[in-house]
Amino acid sequence: MNTNMFSSGNREEAVAEYYKLQAAGYHHKYYRNDSEFDECIKAESELLQNTFRGLDVLEIACGTGFWTEFVAETANSVLATDVNSSMIAEAGKRLSHLSNVSFSVADAYCLNNVSEGFTGAFAVLFWCHIPRQRTGDFLAILHGKLLPGSPVVFICQLEDSDVKTHKTDKYGNKLALRRKDGKDFTILKNTPKKNQLIADLKHLADDIRYSVFPGSSYWCISYKTRAGK
């Protein structure tokens, strides 16, 4: 492997660009004919549905809206956001029949044009892409959109499958090489441990709970926002 491929550059933009190209085929990854995987999806969707029942939920990085659809079954409303209009277009097409779901193109690191006052928030498979050095800013912006005491859930992967492509940058971020449509991308693929996640959250959250979905490679952290944080 050519190590120069781990070029520096804006990592957040590389992640966004990489997924922009995946929008059309992304949804298929959830249909694998794998009963363990399906069990995990069931456990994840139940947790999300129970957590957000009756709430007004802000979803970060919704992709094609796979999780949006589950949450919309029990939530009062869902605003599903993603930086890529290609993803929002796919999600919008799939979920146009759901009257309590709306969509907005929004960058998770600024959430411009997203109103305040939500009573819950979640993101699936996004935490791994947040630069370690931006975790605090990301959370402050997200929490600024939520009422105090709102539940928040993040679900992400324990390990990346192709660890051989990893390097670590000066902030401790793991970098992974990806190729899509003939283009090379260096994307962030962090796999934080429980202690790290709790350290990131404990000064701004209450009731923090960490778990790993049984038989799966997915972790979940849930908590409630604290007033003024």
Ligand X SMILES: C[S@@+](CC[C@H](N)C(=O)[O-])C[C@H]1O[C@@H](n2cnc3c(N)ncnc32)[C@H](O)[C@@H]1O
- The residues that touch ligand X, with contacts defined as CB under 6 A, are 12, 15-16, 19, 60-63, 66-67, 82-84, 87, 107-109, 124-126, 129
Of residues 82 and 200, the one with the C-beta less far from ligand X: 82
Of residues 6 and 218, the one with the C-beta less far from ligand X: 218
Q: In what order do the strands lie in the sheet with 218-225?
A: 101-105, 77-82, 56-59, 120-124, 151-157, 218-225, 205-212
Helix (H, G, I), strand (E, B) or coil at 200: helix
Shortest-Cβ-distance residue relative to ligand X: 63
> Least Å distance between CB 227 and ligand X?
26
CA–CA distances in Å: residue 108 to residues 32, 54, 84, 121: 29, 24, 11, 12
> Least Å distance between CB 103 and ligand X?
12
> Least Å distance between CB 106 and ligand X?
7
Of residues 12 and 56, the one with the C-beta less far from ligand X: 12
Specify whether the CB–CB gap between 120 and 148 falls below 8 A: no
> Least Å distance between CB 18 and ligand X?
8
> Least Å distance between CB 169 and ligand X?
17
Of residues 158 and 226, the one with the C-beta less far from ligand X: 158
Rounded to a whole number, what is the distance in angstroms from the first to the last CA of the chain? 43
Of residues 15 and 55, the one with the C-beta less far from ligand X: 15
> Least Å distance between CB 22 and ligand X?
8
Helix (H, G, I), strand (E, B) or coil at 124: strand
Of residues 85 and 168, the one with the C-beta less far from ligand X: 85
CA–CA distances in Å: residue 111 to residues 9, 15, 77, 81, 130: 22, 17, 18, 9, 14
Helices and strands in the chain, H and E counts: 7, 10
**Would you list the DSSP string of 135-162?**
HHHHHHHHHTTB-TT-EEEEEEESS-TT
